[in-house]
Amino acid sequence: MGAPDFDCPDAMKQVAARAIHDGRNQYSPVPGMPELRRAVADHAARFRNMVVDPEAMVVITSGATEGVLCALLALVDPGDEVIVFEPFYDAYPAQIAFAGGVMRPVALHPPDEAHPQWWFDPAELAAAFGPRTRLVLLNTPHNPTGKVFTAAELEAIGALCLRHDVVAVCDEVYEHITYPGSGHVSIGSLPGMADRTITVSSGGKTFNATGWKVGWAIAPRPLRELLLHTHQYITATVPGPLQLAISAGLALPDSYFEELALGYVRRRQRLRDALATVALRAPATQGTYFLLVDVHASGFASDREFCRLFHEQIGIATIPCSAFFTPDRPGGRRWVRLAFCKPDRTLDAAADRLLRLGRLHG
Ligand code: PMP
What number does the ligand 1 atom closest to the CA of 142 have?
A: 3
Residue nearest to atom 15 of ligand 1 (CA): 63
Q: How far is the CA of 22 from the centre of ligand 1 (A)?
A: 30
Ligand 1 neighbour 201 (Cβ under 6 A): no
Using most ligand atoms within 8 A of CB, pick from 142, 149, 171 the residue to mutate for ligand 1: 171
| Three-state DSSP class for residue 273 | helix
Q: How far is the CA of 201 from the centre of ligand 1 (A)?
A: 8
Non-local (6+) Cβ contacts of 15 within 8 A are 241, 244, 245, 247, 248
Question: Confidence class of residue 328 from pLDDT cuts 50, 70 and 90?
Answer: confident
Ligand 1 neighbour 213 (Cβ under 6 A): yes
- What percent of the chain is helix, strand and coil (3-state, nearest 5)? 45, 15, 40
Q: How far is the CA of 205 from the centre of ligand 1 (A)?
A: 8
pLDDT score at 279? 87
Determine the average pLDDT of the residues in 225-252: 98
What number does the ligand 1 atom closest to the CA of 2 have?
A: 8
Residue 290 scores a pLDDT above 90: yes
pLDDT score at 218? 98
pLDDT score at 359? 65
pLDDT score at 292? 96
pLDDT score at 281? 86
What number does the ligand 1 atom closest to the CA of 201 have?
A: 15
Q: How far is the CA of 9 from the centre of ligand 1 (A)?
A: 20
Determine the average pLDDT of the residues in 312-322: 93
pLDDT score at 330? 84
Residue 266 scores a pLDDT above 60: yes
301-315 CB burial, b ≥16 within 10 A, e <16: ebbeebbebbeeebe
Q: What is the dihedral of CA 15, 17, 21, 24, to 10 degrees?
A: 60
Ligand 1 neighbour 65 (Cβ under 6 A): yes
Determine the average pLDDT of the residues in 45-72: 98
Percent with pLDDT over 70 in the chain:
99
Ligand 1 neighbour 62 (Cβ under 6 A): no
Q: What is the mean pLDDT of the chain?
A: 96
Ligand 1 neighbour 337 (Cβ under 6 A): no
Residue 239 scores a pLDDT above 90: yes
The answer to which of 72-76, 176-180, 354-358 has the lowest mean pLDDT is 354-358
Percent with pLDDT over 90 in the chain:
91
pLDDT score at 303? 94
Determine the average pLDDT of the residues in 87-99: 98
Residue 106 scores a pLDDT above 80: yes
How deeply is 156 buried, as exposed, middle or buried, from its count of CB atoms within 10 A (0-12, 13-18, 19+)?
A: middle
Ligand 1 neighbour 290 (Cβ under 6 A): no
Ligand 1 neighbour 173 (Cβ under 6 A): yes
Is residue 307 within 8 Å of 320, Cβ to Cβ? yes
Question: Confidence class of residue 361 from pLDDT cuts 50, 70 and 90?
Answer: low
Residue 362 scores a pLDDT above 60: no
pLDDT score at 299? 86
Determine the average pLDDT of the residues in 125-131: 98
pTM of the model: 0.97
Residue 252 scores a pLDDT above 90: yes
What number does the ligand 1 atom closest to the CA of 171 have?
A: 1
CB 56: neighbour CB atoms within 10 A?
Answer: 13
Q: What is the dihedral of CA 223, 228, 230, 234, to 10 degrees?
A: 150
Ligand 1 neighbour 143 (Cβ under 6 A): yes
